Chains A and B, each alone.
Chain A
């Protein structure tokens, strides 16, 4: 987690803002009674307007007017009581502690472990630069699951399959129930086996399927395993289900549709 000076300024600015209003509160406006009196007075004026317009007759006017008076009588509470003074300093400190503790704790939970450098924003980092950066980070945080996963992906990206398998295995030892990791790990092993999804690779996909049989990605990979085993019907079922679950504009639809076409053509032949 990175707490920079900008975030601290945001925090302090917020606390000072609230402290200012604790020392100098916003002026209180109307009371309920004042408001109800004004509104019912306005209603009486509207009633007078209605009778002048001929919208109601005298009898209706009398009834409606007494209703307004009764309503107002019921609404007036006379709950006038003096406001109790507070100690602004105590409340300012309490708000400061609450705001700081909660926001930093939540940010700690949600923030990325390290930030992409500014260089990334102007020109994309090369894959080897990414690996270097990740390696430095992993030296300090050897058990960071996300970083290990990213490292494995980056290593695959530069064609270093052996290293990626090793890295994915480290990540797997930390968290074996991450679907994304299971699929990436299986792909890396399959890449080493010339595209064959068998052995450990197949086991990993089965694990992912057991964890979430509704995931489109898992269904896609399970379909590949089925197709490799010659179970074309099973592959078609899995991919059709994946397509059914995918939103119509999902960018991966084309890949699954192509795979489905290929298998269907094979089945026809």
Chain B
């Protein structure tokens, strides 16, 4: 009966979302406060029932209730308990339930932390969020019901995809969804402002902290995904430019533009039209990502036809959301005309450049992602757009962005002069050039690495000097400023880590016999052999490799080759991590005479990639709790 409680809870949540769209709207339209104020309790009740549904499904996994089709297809009695819990979102139906659950968390959070926001704005925002959750609940219940039952339950369930039997599944999707779905909040604020025709300072002020928080989660989610792919796939890569990754990266780029555009709109009343479009664009790309991943169109365009209902539903929803928003935007565009002027050299211009570069980068990624799908669907052949395209297009677009992010915080709002900025920064620039030259002479001759070092020094120098100047002037260091400093330093750390590991990393794919030694980057890898190894949900082999440097033992690595019930072989890499480098070993195939193929990687500064990502996310979180957003306005 518990399953039916979860099922009915989800249905109640759907009906409550209908009431949320209707009753408070009547209240707002007819000025009946008691009805418009019902938006919050409706949101709480909806959130409560979705939470009940989510945990009922989780309990079905934990208790091996194979009468639920979704559980039977994605779990079995031998699956470790952590993976049973995370298997809830391991496949289509559950991951959509997670999406709806996360959306309800965001909606409840908006309703609770809204004491400083005008009642009518917050109620309208909750109505828009209710409409979004209505669309997803409808999709969930009628095309992807996770509570569908089997009349004759099987004795044992099937297996969760072995790739997903990992701690990464427990943390990466929830974080990514927090970011993805979180972009619904700025979208809802913007749509509320458009519906009410009240495009004032308030919606801009309150859109920014929510955007920062969701952007922060999206950054953490993408960073965790990169880290997961790195250790789980056994190839030592940290970003593959595959369409699923791109689907999460595109909203990130637009949301990055949005938080910068919002800062101009908030502080100087400019870019309002652009800010509205970015908020709509960010959430629309989130939905597009869901469509690409969930319709099956990425596996193959033809796979779309195997489940036309799902793909068609998301496509219609996408059309309604984007089309409806743009119609509203056009209707209200006259209210967005007013914009305060600024000169060619001003901080506004810098932030405009930032926006143009980020949106151009997003478009280049979108083109690379959709182009093969369009060709395939038109039967014009199959092509694959991979890293060479993305690196060639994306990197040159972003380099000017990194250069600009260091300089423009020094430029004044509205109007500045080149001579003032030059006089202010000339010694810093000389210092950057000298340090880069020293790196050329003493560290490396690799031009890409030199550029990365130059950019790293450029950003760190400018950001730290700005920070120290603030401290020296004994003026208050706001959380927003501190957040900006940390996030921009995070960009520098990421750029250096990504370039150094890509350019100076070493990879060896070799055959090793017992007792054989391979030397990579000064480390001696001694292969001691392989032994059988088994656990509840898999069996396989575990390798034993000792690593020495200057005849001193550094670490012991134990890569695994696993065979799961489905017969799918999996490689579990063994990694010795450190801030300066990773030593990474993956076991390949068994060869003749007790030999094994082994992949050994030396990855300098690879941890800096994720450290940079986490710094960026931390910076955004700090900026989101700036004093401006916490001071209570007395009614």
How far is B201's CA from A39's CA once the two chains are assembled, in angstroms?
A: 7
Least CB separation from B67: chain A residue: A116
Interface size on B, residues (CB 8 A): 86
CB distance from B342 to the nearest CB of A (A): 10
Q: Is B384 interfacial (CB-CB < 8 Å)?
A: no
- A75 and B200 contact, CB distance less than 8 A: yes
- A28 and B37 contact, CB distance less than 8 A: yes
- CB-defined interface of B235-272 with A at 8 Å, one 1/0 digit per residue? 00000000000000000000000000000000111000
| Residues of A21-69 whose CB lies within 8 A of B | 21-22, 25-32, 34-36, 38-40, 42-43, 46, 49-50, 52-53, 55-56, 60, 63-64, 67
- CB-defined interface of B12-29 with A at 8 Å, one 1/0 digit per residue? 101110110001000000
- CB-defined interface of B337-362 with A at 8 Å, one 1/0 digit per residue? 01010000000000000000000000
Q: Is B161 interfacial (CB-CB < 8 Å)?
A: yes
How far is B635's CA from A49's CA once the two chains are assembled, in angstroms?
A: 25
- A120 and B7 contact, CB distance less than 8 A: no
How far is B12's CA from A49's CA once the two chains are assembled, in angstroms?
A: 51
Contacts of B444 in A (CB 8 A): none
Q: Is B121 interfacial (CB-CB < 8 Å)?
A: yes
How far is B38's CA from A53's CA once the two chains are assembled, in angstroms?
A: 46
How far is B151's CA from A130's CA once the two chains are assembled, in angstroms?
A: 8
| Residues of B75-103 whose CB lies within 8 A of A | none
Q: Is A259 interfacial (CB-CB < 8 Å)?
A: no
- A36 and B153 contact, CB distance less than 8 A: no
- A21 and B37 contact, CB distance less than 8 A: yes
| Residues of B50-70 whose CB lies within 8 A of A | 63, 65-67
Q: Is B326 interfacial (CB-CB < 8 Å)?
A: no
Contacts of B633 in A (CB 8 A): 30, 34-35, 38
How far is B475's CA from A263's CA once the two chains are assembled, in angstroms?
A: 79
- A29 and B567 contact, CB distance less than 8 A: no
- A39 and B202 contact, CB distance less than 8 A: yes
How far is B141's CA from A27's CA once the two chains are assembled, in angstroms?
A: 34
- B45 and A17 contact, CB distance less than 8 A: yes
- B34 and A86 contact, CB distance less than 8 A: yes
How far is B632's CA from A42's CA once the two chains are assembled, in angstroms?
A: 12
Q: A102-B18, A107-B7, A111-B4 are in contact. Are A249 and B568 (CB under 8 A)?
A: yes
Interface centre among B9, B16, B302 (most CB of A within 10 A): B16
- B118 and A115 contact, CB distance less than 8 A: no
How far is B48's CA from A17's CA once the two chains are assembled, in angstroms?
A: 12
How far is B412's CA from A150's CA once the two chains are assembled, in angstroms?
A: 73
Q: Is A142 interfacial (CB-CB < 8 Å)?
A: no
- A99 and B12 contact, CB distance less than 8 A: yes
Least CB separation from A9: chain B residue: B5
State the majority secondary structure of interface residues on A: helix
Q: A25-B38, A84-B31 are in contact. Are A30 and B412 (CB under 8 A)?
A: no
- B34 and A83 contact, CB distance less than 8 A: yes
Q: Is B451 interfacial (CB-CB < 8 Å)?
A: no
Contacts of A88 in B (CB 8 A): 34
How far is B478's CA from A50's CA once the two chains are assembled, in angstroms?
A: 13
Interface centre among A53, A82, A153, A154 (most CB of B within 10 A): A53
- A29 and B115 contact, CB distance less than 8 A: yes
Contacts of A150 in B (CB 8 A): 151-152
- B12 and A245 contact, CB distance less than 8 A: no
- B7 and A110 contact, CB distance less than 8 A: yes
Contacts of A115 in B (CB 8 A): 1, 4, 67, 149
- B34 and A85 contact, CB distance less than 8 A: yes
How far is B91's CA from A249's CA once the two chains are assembled, in angstroms?
A: 11
- A214 and B306 contact, CB distance less than 8 A: yes
Contacts of B510 in A (CB 8 A): none
- B119 and A29 contact, CB distance less than 8 A: yes
| Residues of B329-387 whose CB lies within 8 A of A | 338, 340
| Residues of A76-113 whose CB lies within 8 A of B | 77, 81-86, 88, 91, 95, 98-99, 102-103, 106-107, 110-113
Q: Is B511 interfacial (CB-CB < 8 Å)?
A: no
Q: Is A134 interfacial (CB-CB < 8 Å)?
A: yes
How far is B305's CA from A214's CA once the two chains are assembled, in angstroms?
A: 7
Q: A29-B117, A112-B151 are in contact. Are A50 and B413 (CB under 8 A)?
A: yes
Q: A10-B9, A36-B200, A71-B201 are in contact. Are A18 and B118 (CB under 8 A)?
A: no
- A124 and B154 contact, CB distance less than 8 A: yes
| Residues of A103-159 whose CB lies within 8 A of B | 103, 106-107, 110-116, 118, 120-121, 124-125, 127, 130, 134, 146-147, 150, 153-154
CB distance from A151 to the nearest CB of B (A): 9
Contacts of B1 in A (CB 8 A): 4, 6, 115, 118
- B414 and A106 contact, CB distance less than 8 A: no
**A interface residues with partner B (beta carbon < 8 Å):** 2, 4, 6-7, 10-11, 14, 17-18, 20-22, 25-32, 34-36, 38-40, 42-43, 46, 49-50, 52-53, 55-56, 60, 63-64, 67, 71-72, 74-75, 77, 81-86, 88, 91, 95, 98-99, 102-103, 106-107, 110-116, 118, 120-121, 124-125, 127, 130, 134, 146-147, 150, 153-154, 214-216, 244-245, 247-249, 251, 254
- Additional pairs, 17, CB under 8 Å, beyond known A14-B12, A35-B201, A46-B267: A6-B1, A7-B4, A18-B45, A21-B38, A21-B40, A22-B38, A32-B200, A32-B202, A67-B269, A86-B34, A103-B11, A112-B148, A116-B150, A130-B152, A245-B300, A249-B161, A254-B567
Q: Which 6 residue pairs of A and B lie closest in terms of their CB atoms, listed nearest first?
A: A83-B33, A38-B633, A21-B41, A116-B67, A75-B200, A25-B37
25 example contacts (A-B, Cβ-Cβ < 8 A) are as follows A7-B4, A10-B8, A18-B45, A22-B34, A22-B38, A29-B114, A29-B117, A30-B117, A30-B119, A32-B120, A32-B121, A39-B205, A60-B414, A60-B415, A71-B201, A75-B200, A84-B32, A85-B34, A98-B18, A99-B16, A115-B4, A116-B67, A120-B153, A245-B303, A245-B306
**B interface residues with partner A (beta carbon < 8 Å):** 1, 4-5, 7-9, 11-12, 14-16, 18-19, 23, 30-35, 37-38, 40-42, 45, 49, 63, 65-67, 114-122, 141-142, 145, 148-155, 158-159, 161, 163, 198, 200-202, 205, 267-269, 296, 299-300, 302-303, 305-306, 338, 340, 412-415, 473, 475-476, 566-568, 628, 631, 633, 635
